[in-house]
Structure 1
């Protein structure tokens, strides 16, 4: 027999059902999020059990010590103190012999060869092969088919065959975005592409920072930050203590201890009044004032007033919100889709999200019902 959501909550979560401050709408993307959370009696003792009324929604066992968000259909988890991967069928698809391993990007995951932070690093494929049979002092995720690697404090790019395509000779090199990466080499700095072609920037008082992103570069001048375009023309003067990258047409800035947003012409569109903030994602940004989180719109108006202990940015239409020490999902109408139930909750990514109840993790797969 299947129970409505309120009966399931009566078993474990009564306070969170009746004390939440937002309206409820347990449907999203064509999925019915009503569920029951119960306890199963097993030979190993009581175990939490989660069931959705929508039988198209897949729920894993809640048994994992750690669980990353899904990446290329695999999730990183932990067993006996080491990391490995499972797939959406909960099949162990790699050996659990990694001291550290990241998520998969472009078919490879960054991993460390030993338990010490200084141990060499490389790239492992889904078949368990070491890319190029080589380790490096440091490696970074593949982006757009290339990955930055470090040898003896010098950086370059390799491709997905392990071939060096940009010589390992740079003092700094970022990932490639929009066709270009920021580089520094001896007295030179500027932009470099996947062919190793450089656009040098000659200015001894401007220090390029961060990524080339949406056609712009952040730079620093006497401890203040500004932004220039791909031709190194200053479009936002260096008047700020910190500047992020443009996301959805806005860039976050810091003056003193407060944060706000600028538009692409450098105009202040949201005044610096927040204690912290995140970039805009899917039309909204999470902000903090006085230790409480809220969500703002691009015009600075609140979607949700800052009254919560934690709010993430939106991902696939849902944001993680914490209330009363528990976490759930809201939609862009500021309605609870999943009331605050979980001790930890990961973002919805590629139709899958991870969650923790007490110290054990599981995942929910919405791909059977999720509509775009």
Structure 2
């Protein structure tokens, strides 16, 4: 019996700390709800931030501390300013200076840097004599300070620049794409776009293929297809650097679920991989389908359609950009979308139900 109780408590704890919570403001106080719309942490705070890496910053009096997902104080309020936790480490300010702490609130010794940066994918950037490098959570320098620019890492890769030329490195500092381009996109599934002189093209691995006539290319999304512009019109290219859908649209957005929103003459619809309309242009605006197989579309306000074009959630909301770097789509992620109506915020599920049937003065995105 004792073992059963111990295991039950263990899995209950794991469940609590794995769940995503959203910061909400009800009247003058801030609390946190789970994805059922139920308060996990009652609204008791005047000032606080969203959860990140399992902890949320809260301000008590003049000082900031951190709570866990059970609402208990994990790091006592002692800081005049704080950032968010990433990779178990957070930047905090005390006595006029910034430094790093761990989840025990202990000050960490890290390599000297002219400016402190948040950790991202296990690394923090460092600036030394105007050059940028990076070190890991143990304070070991992984990338020497030799670059002019290092952009944030995304899925293990980052754009870097030296003497005006751009390339891609991984989190070990290995150069994945040589620094020989005038501009470069995000590296997604081994593919990106780049500009070399007047030529725009696709890099698959380390091979650059010019896309005929292109004067702009956008980042790849979840599918190995992206959109590009030629002579003022937008079409689509695959990773071979060939036009697979000729440029004939005024505007476009990324493919997902084998559908892409496109605009001609101010009206938006959706095309399939053959470039033909699957959903006829009838909307004032339209966004990418999410992995929940719903896409936001706009008449006077926003609603949601399924891949057949059926309106499954009425057009009566405002929406905002959603969760994080890899989920830039507006609308649904993980079965939930943040919406606004009559000046208040809430969340809806994929059936259009309001979570907990509650509206808030403010509601931030669900975070771990």
Classify the TM-score, shorter chain. 0.5 to 0.7
Instruction: State the distance in 2 between where 1:84 and 1:288 align.
Output: 48
Residue number in structure 2 paired with 1:165: 142
Instruction: State the distance in 2 between where 1:131 and 1:310 align.
Output: 48
Instruction: State the distance in 2 between where 1:357 and 1:87 align.
Output: 31
Residue number in structure 2 paired with 1:275: 250
CA displacement 1:186-227 (0-9 Å, x = unmatched): 487544332223467475xx4251233322343223333112
Aligned partner of 1:266 among 237, 241, 255: 241
Aligned partner of 2:271 among 276, 296, 312: 296
Aligned partner of 2:120 among 142, 155, 171: 142
Q: Does 1:351 align with 2:325?
A: no
Residue number in structure 2 paired with 1:37: none
* More displaced stretch, 358-367 vs 134-143: 134-143
Aligned partner of 2:37 among 58, 72, 75: 58
Q: What is the Cα deviation at residue 86 of structure 1?
A: 10
CA displacement 1:106-136 (0-9 Å, x = unmatched): 5678x897xxxxx999888888888868987
Q: What is the Cα deviation at residue 339 of structure 1?
A: 1.1
Q: Does 1:246 align with 2:220?
A: yes
TM-score for both structures, normalised by structure 2:
0.60
CA displacement 1:274-328 (0-9 Å, x = unmatched): 2222222232222222233222222222232222122221223221222223x22
CA distance 1:282–1:186, shift in 2 (3 Å): same
User: Unpaired runs of 5+ in structure 1?
Assistant: 1-41, 45-55, 62-67, 78-82, 114-118
Aligned partner of 2:188 among 206, 213, 222: 213
CA contact (8 A) 1:260 1:270 kept: yes
Q: Does 1:192 align with 2:169?
A: yes
CA contact (8 A) 1:157 1:166 kept: yes
CA contact (8 A) 1:217 1:228 kept: yes
Residue number in structure 2 paired with 1:27: none
Instruction: State the distance in 2 between where 1:305 and 1:84 align.
Output: 52
CA distance 1:349–1:200, shift in 2 (3 Å): closer
Q: Does 1:322 align with 2:298?
A: yes
Q: What is the Cα deviation at residue 253 of structure 1?
A: 0.7
Secondary structure of the structure 2 residue equivalent to 1:212 = coil
CA contact (8 A) 2:167 2:175 kept: yes
Aligned partner of 1:363 among 335, 344, 347: 347
CA contact (8 A) 2:253 2:262 kept: yes
Backbone CA RMSD of aligned residues: 5.1
CA contact (8 A) 1:281 1:315 kept: yes
CA displacement 1:16-63 (0-9 Å, x = unmatched): xxxxxxxxxxxxxxxxxxxxxxxxxx9x8xxxxxxxxxxx953789xx
Instruction: State the distance in 1 between where 2:289 and 2:183 align.
Output: 30
Matches within 5 A, 1:71-220: 137=115, 139=117, 142-143=120-121, 145-148=122-125, 150=127, 153-161=130-138, 163-176=140-153, 179-186=156-163, 190-198=167-175, 201=178, 206-220=181-195
Q: Does 1:311 align with 2:286?
A: yes
Instruction: State the distance in 2 between where 1:152 and 1:140 align.
Output: 19
CA contact (8 A) 2:194 2:203 kept: yes
Instruction: State the distance in 1 between where 2:174 and 2:98 align.
Output: 27
